[in-house]
Structure 1
Amino acid sequence: MTTFLRLLTDKDKSSCLAASCTAVRLGEVDTRVFQVEPQSFRSVPGAPFAYWVSEAVRQTFRLFPAFEGGDRTVRQGLATADDFRFVRGWWEVGAGGDRWFGFTKGGSFSRFYADIPVTVNWHRDGEEIKAGICKRYPYLNGNAEFVAKNPQYYFRPGITWPLRGIVYSAQAVPRNCVFSVAGKMAFAPERDLHTWLAIFNSRAFDYLVRLFAGKVGGVQYEAGLIGGIPVADMSGDQSLQLSRLARRGWSIKRRLASIEERSHAFLLPAALRSRIGDFDPQAIDTELASIQAQIDDTAFSLYGFSEADRQAATAQSAGEPATDEANEDEDAEDTEPEAPPIDALLSWAVGVAFSLFDWRLATGERAAPPEPEPFDPLPAKSPGMLPDGAEPFHAHAGILADDQGHPHDLARLAEEVLARVEVTVPDDVRRWLQRDFFAFHLQRYSKSRRKAPIYWPLSTTSGSYTLWVYYPSLTSQTLYTAINDFVEPKLKQVGGDVTVLRNKGSVRTRDDEKQFEALQAFELELIELRDTLLKLAPTYKPSHDDGVQISAAPLWPLFRHKPWQKVLKDTWAKLEKGDYDWAHLAMNYWPERVRENCKTDKSLAIAHGLEDRYIEPEPKQRKARGKKKAGGDA
């Protein structure tokens, strides 16, 4: 028998160590002291040094089969080797079609439900990704599946979890998604997935994960770790009960996401959400706690945990965070605070003005669509978006303006949206749009290291005049529309005002002089904006498959938000250098260079539909080794 002392949670370790040593000498009970027969560690595969759990818990690995086995398995997925090229926010490229598919990437702590905010290019069985992998790693000798792992499991429904964390949590993954090297997945017959979703989210399962990993906190949840966790037999009634609890947990957890405008579950912003059914986050949290308690009680019983073991398992996860702070996954930098209600409301109003969202959900003119099932494919649009074919709030050609009195004035339209849904209109909507909105929007529409804003403010040098371009409506004609329908008419108006004041001559008042100078400066800025747009327009042919950052890069001089402008300027420099020759814009601006590179890079040839230009290299001849002569050199 070996004695172990556990002082991980004690702050004054010196005095606690002394007290525990005294207790051992005197034969007294001390919760920090564990007496374990080292042979018992072998009950767990790999014999982790998990002295802090009871012998009965260690024996679960002998009593019950591992999850991995039979019709159940855990798999690692795709590493694209170039996420900037192959991964997009789902709002950048839309859904549907045969190119972009939901992509699980680990995410953050969340039980039952988590949105899948990014997509991956898996067109024609991922041929472009596979060619890129083979180009980057020539030592694979064409075996791309060494990196793009387990493609036979792509598009199946299953369960995923964060890459690593303090407390384990699992979420449902719908059909028609691809999973990543970080967003590993567990698979089982679809009829059983709800039950396994409950078991995976139980504290008993988390306790066994920590035991198998041989540590508490900071666990990296590899496929072998999760697949090796024992799973207890259960009756049909127990399975059904767990299935119903997980289904309900998924439903109300998804309801919390219905106020996040970037989510597939979005309905309305928080300020309006209660208009379409009960929305009480506190009540939802209370019900989630009740569901968790019921799942835990059933799971503890299935595994045969004693009361002491239950208390130990519960104590280890007692401090579990309710936010993304539970995890240190690859998207940790993307965690964002909850949007202030007024900012979220104004952002939604902008979306309505641009025909992205449907105001009728807030007025009762349209009912919310029915809730999907957890493993149904992701929708092409969130339920809060304007349905295809529906009349928009305001017809436009993909551009709105910050121009008081203009029929496409964004501030006025946002105010009209709020008035239509009978919300008090703030006094400073225009100021908010000018100073605060883009920074807020950029933060909300960034994910997985991607910055992908869909409302683009193209401005004069001083920001005195701004055109808001709507990325989903972007075409090769957008800049011409900006010139002909907005900048030129504005120039004509301002030029007329300048002429009137100029003609006043010596009778101009002091106020007239100030206005005259301001209008002249404004006119020069508008001319500069027009000339810049005229220079860019003839060669600007964007493709949504390139994503927001590439598509916006040629326009970098027109953005006034300095951090975003720098990102775009750097992106443009890399485009010029040839780092992104896979982009459609690169072919547009430098066709000769890109076509030449297609001869030696199969992935580029595939990207541009020029496979016939690719020249397969000659296989390298292996040098034959000569036999060494007996006796060596003479």
Structure 2
Amino acid sequence: MLFIRAVAAEDKASAIKRGISGEFSDRFTPTLSQFKEIPGTPFAYWIGAGVRAAFNRFPPVEGHGRAVRVGLQTSDDFRFLRAHWEIDTRKRGKKWFPFAKGGELSPYYACLHLTINWEEEGKELKAWVVSNPTDPRTVHWSRRIASSEYYLRPGMTWPLRASRFAPQPMPSGCIFSVRGYSVFLPESMLMAGLSIFNSKPFDYLFKALLGRFGYPEFIVGALQKLPWAEPSAEQAKTLSDLAKSAWSATRAADTAVETSLAFTLPKPLNISANADISATLAETQSKIDAVVYEIFGLDESDRQEIEGASVFVSAEIVADVDENEDQDTETSSDDNDRIALQSWAVGVAFGRFDIRLATGERAIPAEPEPFDALPDTSPGMVPDGEAPFMPCKGVLVDDPGHADDLTARVNAVYECVGQQALEEATLRRSLAREFFPAHLKMYTKSSRKAPIYWQLATPSGSYSVWLYLHELDRDMFFRVQSDYVSPKLLHEQRQLEELRNDAGPSPNAAQRKVIDTQERFTGELQNLLEEVRRVAPIWKPIQDDGVVLTMAPLWRLMTQHKAWQKELKAKWDDLAVGKFDWSHIAMHLWPERVVPKCATDRSLAIAHGLDDVFWTASDDGKWNPRPTPQRPIDELVHERTSSAVKSALKELFETTVSNGPKARTRRSSS
């Protein structure tokens, strides 16, 4: 058999002709037995004898304390997954656990930004997957929740589909998904294994078995069959040190990413994140590859074969990148330095981030070990029990002269860290109009939109109230009403009255213009106050519901950001018709609908703490509805129903949304 590999040739027809005549170097004449040397007999006719021999010379990855596994499928990510920054950190490791779900190509290191509800070993999730009406074939949770005996163990994970095989550590305490494949080694071999799996020789072996080089799917079954060459103690030590070096260099860049659990400071203030790591990583990778070539007994001709494969990889990628696999392809996103600095300064203003890391009053914490359990919060945050740069109770305003003016606080942060303070009007305009869209983009990952700073604004942006997710409480909107919006409205109404008195009964054109502007402004403030008053009685934030559902009742207040308002309105409508009855807000607002459902859906009963009331286990472990609930449904509904909430909810649905008149200027509260 004659094969001619013309993938990388510019003139493929000419290459094929020359291959037939024996003048083209990439011609191969394998025998049928040579194909069978690689498990699965892939159509990899170009693989040399030395590489093929590795499959017979060494044992497979699977076995002898090594395991490659696929994880769980929630069948409802919106319900069971959260970004790590939107959860109550006190529940991390109790209800919410780090979750590996594939993601982007990221050799040696990646931040796991998702968490999963795995409370009581996935009690609610297990109940859901066996009651999911769209999946009637699942009668036992293990069909969708695989390999649970490996959960919380340190291992390595990787994206399903990428240009090369490049695992990163999966620290202790994590759960992994059906797409976040994982491999487990004896703990003493984890760091050396990280080097081996990220090496060029191992990537080539993997692609040889798959029979494909451009963006293949790095599936569990294939990795299980790949050869594993055990390094000597000396080789293992060398590979471990090199892996740690690569991990540290890559993690250093992540310390400038605000949404990372490694975050310390934004890039303009972060020396380590500004270092060019490409040369360091290239040198480290070269050293790793050299050791792995030696471990697998690959000679110079094998190395030339493997090193030369990159030209074919590039050609295959151009020809066959799957555009639909957006979660698993190489992408990059660099935050704009100005926005990154501004976002950090806003975080300092709210008491989230620790300014002392920038001033040198607090040392940058030492980096952890790669497989250590992830921290509850990033090292850039103010440690529990320590005072922030400036006190804040979770509410700031866009209001010149006010003690809680966001613009003044951000400029104070800039001045403290030696950054030039911006002209007030410029910064105020940026915060009012540009910051939230940038923040929403920054805090959106894996299709989860989870902003932690919320802008409640007048339609014109002339006045804003900013809320911080992790300081929300039941009385927040009563405080917003009494401490901020009501006093602001009274102040502006007095200003309007003064303008009218100064102008007299016959104002000139200039006076009339100023009065009209002030009238529009007070009109917007009046509308804002009315909306705050409407939502205050029904407001009961529970972070377990996630940011989008927690914000959904506030959709009428998101007049500055129409796309986001539309999304919140859609979620609010879905809540109203019962689409998210697992949520606490659904139980809070519609207990008469949600409580009875708990009698027929055990996952809902668990979500609302009513599983013992409605469900009982038989001797064989199967869960069944109780013939008679331990407490009457009417009684359960009654104790969860508030007449004040129902009245406010009725008004909210019946009142027409008014964007109000538009104001173009503002007056300070001073």
Match of 1:630 in 2: none
Q: Say if 2:576 is the partner of 1:583.
A: no
Match of 1:310 in 2: 303
Q: Structure 2: which amino acid aligns with 1:394?
A: M
- C-alpha displacement of 1:301: 1.3
Match of 1:472 in 2: 470
User: Contact (CA 8 Å) 1:50, 1:211: kept in 2 or not?
Assistant: yes
- In structure 1, what is the Cα distance between the partners aligned to 2:460 and 2:230? 69
- In structure 2, what is the Cα distance between the partners aligned to 1:267 and 1:320? 37
What TM-score results when the alignment is normalised by the length of structure 1? 0.92
Moved more, 134-143 or 56-65: 134-143
- C-alpha displacement of 1:600: 0.8
- In structure 1, what is the Cα distance between the partners aligned to 2:228 and 2:265? 40
- C-alpha displacement of 1:618: 8.1
- In structure 1, what is the Cα distance between the partners aligned to 2:25 and 2:88? 56
- In structure 2, what is the Cα distance between the partners aligned to 1:374 and 1:268? 20
Q: Structure 2: which amino acid aligns with 1:454?
A: I
Q: Deviation per CA, 1:540-569: give whole Å up to 9, x if none.
A: 111000010000111011112122111111
Match of 1:631 in 2: none
- In structure 2, what is the Cα distance between the partners aligned to 1:94 and 1:118? 13
- C-alpha displacement of 1:281: 3.0
Q: In the alignment, which of 463, 466, 482 is matched to residue 484 of structure 1?
A: 482
Q: In the alignment, which of 270, 274, 278 is matched to residue 273 of structure 1?
A: 270
User: Contact (CA 8 Å) 2:128, 2:603: kept in 1 or not?
Assistant: yes
- C-alpha displacement of 1:335: 4.9
User: Contact (CA 8 Å) 1:334, 1:449: kept in 2 or not?
Assistant: no
- C-alpha displacement of 1:280: 4.2
Q: Deviation per CA, 1:154-182: give whole Å up to 9, x if none.
A: 00000111111121101011101101111
Moved more, 360-369 or 224-233: 224-233
Match of 2:630 in 1: none
Moved more, 456-465 or 151-160: 456-465
User: Contact (CA 8 Å) 1:331, 1:449: kept in 2 or not?
Assistant: no
Q: Deviation per CA, 1:21-74: give whole Å up to 9, x if none.
A: 232xxxx4x222111112111111111111111022111111000110011100
User: Contact (CA 8 Å) 1:399, 1:469: kept in 2 or not?
Assistant: yes
Q: In the alignment, which of 485, 496, 499 is matched to residue 497 of structure 2?
A: 499
- In structure 2, what is the Cα distance between the partners aligned to 1:91 and 1:545? 12
What TM-score results when the alignment is normalised by the length of structure 2? 0.87
- C-alpha displacement of 1:503: 2.1
Q: How does 1:500-579 map to 2 (within 5 A)?
A: 500-504=498-502, 505-506=504-505, 508-559=507-558, 560-579=560-579
Quickly say closer, same or farther: Cα 1:294–1:69, change in 2 above 3 A: same
Q: In the alignment, which of 249, 252, 275 is matched to residue 252 of structure 1?
A: 249
Q: Deviation per CA, 1:570-603: give whole Å up to 9, x if none.
A: 1111111111000100011111100011111111
User: Contact (CA 8 Å) 1:419, 1:425: kept in 2 or not?
Assistant: yes
Match of 2:11 in 1: 12
User: Contact (CA 8 Å) 2:393, 2:471: kept in 1 or not?
Assistant: yes
- C-alpha displacement of 1:605: 0.5
Quickly say closer, same or farther: Cα 1:344–1:473, change in 2 above 3 A: same
Q: How does 1:602-613 map to 2 (within 5 A)?
A: 602-613=602-613
Secondary structure of residue in 2 paired with 1:404: coil
Q: Deviation per CA, 1:1-32: give whole Å up to 9, x if none.
A: x1111111223222222222232xxxx4x222
- In structure 2, what is the Cα distance between the partners aligned to 1:306 and 1:334? 31
Q: In the alignment, which of 371, 378, 381 is matched to residue 382 of structure 1?
A: 378
Secondary structure of residue in 1 paired with 2:2: strand
Match of 1:118 in 2: 114
Match of 2:401 in 1: 405
User: Contact (CA 8 Å) 1:104, 1:118: kept in 2 or not?
Assistant: yes
- In structure 2, what is the Cα distance between the partners aligned to 1:292 and 1:608? 51
Q: Structure 2: which amino acid aligns with 1:248?
A: S
Q: How does 1:129-278 map to 2 (within 5 A)?
A: 129-136=125-132, 139-140=136-137, 142-274=139-271, 278=272
Quickly say closer, same or farther: Cα 1:618–1:510, change in 2 above 3 A: closer
Match of 1:393 in 2: 389
- C-alpha displacement of 1:319: 8.9
Secondary structure of residue in 2 paired with 1:230: coil
User: Contact (CA 8 Å) 1:156, 1:175: kept in 2 or not?
Assistant: yes
Q: Structure 2: which amino acid aligns with 1:115?
A: C
Quickly say closer, same or farther: Cα 1:588–1:94, change in 2 above 3 A: closer
Quickly say closer, same or farther: Cα 1:62–1:334, change in 2 above 3 A: closer
- In structure 2, what is the Cα distance between the partners aligned to 1:545 and 1:433? 28
- In structure 1, what is the Cα distance between the partners aligned to 2:562 and 2:11? 48
Match of 2:353 in 1: 357
Q: How many residues align?
A: 607
- In structure 2, what is the Cα distance between the partners aligned to 1:517 and 1:573? 36
Q: In the alignment, which of 29, 47, 68 is matched to residue 35 of structure 1?
A: 29
Match of 2:287 in 1: 294
Q: Say if 2:598 is the partner of 1:598.
A: yes
Q: Structure 1: which amino acid aligns with 2:215?
A: G
Q: Say if 2:342 is the partner of 1:343.
A: no
Match of 2:640 in 1: none
Query: Which blocks of at least 5 consecutive residues in structure 1 are unaligned?
Result: 620-634
Q: Structure 2: which amino acid aligns with 1:136?
A: N
Q: Structure 2: which amino acid aligns with 1:48?
A: P
Match of 1:622 in 2: none
User: Contact (CA 8 Å) 2:394, 2:468: kept in 1 or not?
Assistant: yes
Q: Deviation per CA, 1:485-516: give whole Å up to 9, x if none.
A: 11001011001111112223236443322221
Q: Structure 2: which amino acid aligns with 1:90?
A: H
Secondary structure of residue in 2 paired with 1:400: strand
- In structure 1, what is the Cα distance between the partners aligned to 2:4 and 2:483? 76
- C-alpha displacement of 1:461: 2.4
User: Contact (CA 8 Å) 1:76, 1:180: kept in 2 or not?
Assistant: yes
- C-alpha displacement of 1:337: 2.1
- In structure 1, what is the Cα distance between the partners aligned to 2:508 and 2:476? 41
Identity %: 42
Q: Say if 2:410 is the partner of 1:414.
A: yes
User: Contact (CA 8 Å) 2:37, 2:55: kept in 1 or not?
Assistant: yes
User: Contact (CA 8 Å) 1:210, 1:219: kept in 2 or not?
Assistant: yes
User: Contact (CA 8 Å) 1:167, 1:317: kept in 2 or not?
Assistant: no
User: Contact (CA 8 Å) 1:259, 1:270: kept in 2 or not?
Assistant: yes
Query: Which blocks of at least 5 consecutive residues in structure 2 are unaligned?
Result: 616-622, 627-670
- In structure 1, what is the Cα distance between the partners aligned to 2:330 and 2:105? 13
- In structure 2, what is the Cα distance between the partners aligned to 1:317 and 1:543? 51
- C-alpha displacement of 1:229: 1.1
